[in-house]
Amino acid sequence: MAATMRSISRRDEMSLAEPAALPVAASVAPRLHVLKRFLDRFKASLPAYLLLLPSLVFLALFTYGAMGRVLIDALYQRATPKAPVRFVGLDNISAVLADPAFTGAVVNNLIYAVGTAVPSIALALLFALALSRTHAVNSALRAALFLPVLIPMVAASALFLFIFLPNVGLLDYYIGRLLPVLPNWLGDPDIALYAIMIITIWKNAGYYMLFFLAGLQAVPEDVMEAAHLDGAGPYQRLRHIILPELKPTFLFVTVIAILNAVTQVDHVFVMTQGGPSNSTNLVLFYIYQQAVEHYDVGKASAATLLTLAALMGLTALSFRTLANREGGP
């Protein structure tokens, strides 16, 4: 009895001691464990990091380094040409926001983004639906529609420069017979931005078509067949099956189209230089003007920061929406 008692008590002791000992063990062994695990993991992924190193170095040098530099530059300004640069805080940002040329560029960019994204996506969808079945004719047509994507923007702009040439260009040569007064496509501030938009749509529609063609492959065959058997017409199939299935594609292409609208300004450089009278000035070109023509690095950096912030906000928002949509019913 006593023995059992003792044994119990010992057991108790043990059971009491064990929890007391446990924290000690937990404070040593798991730490070792974590370290070891980390080392193990590091060892395992070392080749991966080594392989990534060149990219990381270049990213740090040319992307993150540059972004950091922009952030710093945005905070400095000089009062007069010979004065030294000094810290001005957010003055550059407020100067950019107060600049009518910047607000003008933002408005132009919004018109440009909506005016290029909507038609090019609509066209892309139309092309994809028309050419979704693969046979020789469709392949040839797809290639033809994709061709503009392969032409560099600068070369395309140079081509369109001749097409838009007032009085003697291709466009005026054909349309000119129908119109009472020949428009000066790139020289009239009311038309120039739309002329620029036409090039972007022409150039991007074929690219977005690829995404929609891929998206159409993912539309389940059996659902389509079932709808067919249920007597759903082509419009009903499009409205209730194809379009809902393409929603993620739509979202992705929209983000790409908007990013393009902000980051592609090659044609503005080549064709109008932001003119006439700033009517085709887009945000990125405004930044270029501040940095190069005004030689005002502070203001250019501030405008860059504002643009970056807007783009990152937009991207975050769209990816959240995308995640919600995929997580939802």
Partner 1 sequence: MLFSRRLMLGLAMAGSMAGALAVPAMAEGPTEIDLFFPVPVDGKLARDMGTLIKEFNETHPDVKATAVYTGSYDDTLIKTRASIKAGKPPAAVIMSANFLLDMQIENELTNLDSLIAADGTTKEKFLGQFFPALQGNAVINRSVYGVPFHNSTPLLYINADKAKEAGLDPNKPPQTWAELTDWAKKLTKREGDKVTQWGIAIPCAYDYCGWMMETLTMSNGGRYYNEEFGGEVYYDTPSMLGALSWWNDLVAKYKVHPPGATPGPAVSTSFISGNAAMMMLSTGSLTYVRDNAKFAYKVAFIPRNVRNAVPIGGASLIVPAGLEADKQKAAWTLIKWMTSPEKSAWWSRATGYFAPNMAAYKTPEMVDFLNKNPDAKTAVEQLDVAKPWFATYKTVPVRKNLEDEVMLVLNGKKQPKEALAAAQKAADETLKPYNAETALKLP
| Binding residues vs partner 1 (CB under 8 A) | 62, 79-83, 161, 165-168, 180-182, 184, 186-190, 273-278, 289, 292-295
Nearer to partner 1, 105 or 258 (CB): 105
Distances (CA, A) of 142 to 123, 134, 209, 211: 13, 10, 9, 12
Count CA within 13 A, CB hemisphere, residue 79: 4
Q: Residue 310 CB, nearest distance to partner 1 (Å)? A: 25
Q: Which of the 8 DSSP states describes residue 87? A: E
Rounded CA-CA distance 293/10 in Å is 88
Q: How far is the CB of 114 from partner 1 (least distance, A)?
A: 24
Q: In this complex, which beta carbon is closest to partner 1, that of residue 258 or of residue 265?
A: 265
Q: How far is the CB of 133 from partner 1 (least distance, A)?
A: 44
3-state class of 48 per DSSP? helix
Please give the Cα distance from 324 to 251 (Å, whole number): 12
- 10 or 69: CB nearest partner 1: 69
Closest distance of CB 262 from partner 1, Å:
21
Minimum distance from CB of 174 to partner 1 (Å)?
A: 15
Of 273 and 318, the one with the shorter C-beta distance to partner 1 is 273
**Taking Cα atoms as reference points, which of 83, 62, 84, 66 lies closest to residue 74?**
66
Asked if 194 and 112 count as a contact pair (C-beta separation under 8 A), the reply is no
Virtual CA dihedral for 99, 117, 119, 140, nearest 10 degrees? Answer: 130
Taking the C-alpha atoms of residue 67 and residue 65, their distance in angstroms, rounded to an integer, is 5
Q: How far is the CB of 112 from partner 1 (least distance, A)?
A: 19
Quickly tell me which residue has 């991966």 as its tokens. 48
Print burial letters for 131-160: b (CB count within 10 Å at least 16), e (below 16): bbeeeeeeeeebeebeebeeeebeebbeeb
Nearest approach in angstroms of CB 80 to partner 1 is 4
Give the residue with the Cβ less far from partner 1, 190 or 222.
190
Q: Which is nearer to partner 1, 137 or 181 (CB)?
A: 181
77: helix, strand or coil: strand
User: Which is closer to partner 1, CB of 20 or CB of 83?
Assistant: 83
